[in-house]
Structure 1
């Protein structure tokens, strides 16, 4: 197995963990949601578009960035941040995992947090804590349909 294949698989595992966390909380989400054109005018997708978190009535995007060892994933942070600022239709939380990101890159990424578009940069454990303590449960109807809006 090549290093690129291994990195792709471990990144997908991290995304599955995030999906499991979202399902456990009852949030509705779309994986690989199409957002439009990137800052380079290419098709742009996000890892997760979550539509029913009460604190984010216009939606929340979650981007998962895995790097298990030295590599170039963190060199793509500026591209991600510019897309978040210029293209994403709602706030984004960036989840970093794997422990292989360059410390300077993580510090730079965290410095980009504005609490609005780049809402937060969290590791997986911080993300779990934030979901458990910082977010309300979705409101669900008797038919099981959940929304982020209080009835």
Structure 2
């Protein structure tokens, strides 16, 4: 009887003292998004899945803090793209677009950073942009590069941070409401 792939991976890991990836990149990203939803709810946001801010009437939602997930926009290539979250709160002054990415193990996710930052600069409307980048699998220099490039965008504010820093950022920004 053939050995199941997971059992084989565990056996090889034990023999060669190698770590075993416990989650796929997609499930890792979904876990980060779920954590982001919890942080937003902790800060009083009503979170709406698969929404478009233009589709929800303000009268439908008594909360002054609203968040929409997976909001569509047109990318620099002219195709449909989605941003993970669009946040609206009186303390922000303008919408905050948030993209969350987790790189648990080495992979190609960090190669998407230039595309994401190009979209932030050229395709996103006049918004505040926050990139939440998590995980130990980013290539050396990738996060520092993203921080430098975000700081070079001069027509809108673009910030790069981890999940805990995002939690503190929200607390500071919302304190004035």
- TM-score, normalization by structure 2: 0.69
Q: In 2 relative to 1, CA 116–94 (structure 1 residues): closer, same or farther, beyond 3 Å?
A: farther
* C-alpha RMSD of the superposition: 2.2
Greater share of residues in strand: 1
Matched, 1:79 2:91: no
Q: Find the aligned partners of 2:101 and 2:87 in 1 and give their Cα distance.
A: 17
Matched, 1:99 2:136: yes
Q: State the Cα deviation string for residues 91-113 of structure 1 (Å, max 9, x = none).
A: 21000112111121111101022
Matched, 1:20 2:38: yes
Gaps of at least 5 residues in structure 1 are 140-151
Q: In 2 relative to 1, CA 138–7 (structure 1 residues): closer, same or farther, beyond 3 Å?
A: farther
- TM-score, normalization by structure 1: 0.80
User: Residue 34 of structure 1: CA displacement?
Assistant: 1.1
What residue is the counterpart of 1:38 in the other structure? Answer: 75
Stretches (4+) displaced over 3 A: none
Gaps of at least 5 residues in structure 2 are 7-20, 46-65
Q: Find the aligned partners of 1:121 and 1:65 in 2 and give their Cα distance.
A: 11
Q: Which has the higher contact order (CA 8 A, sep 6+)?
A: 1
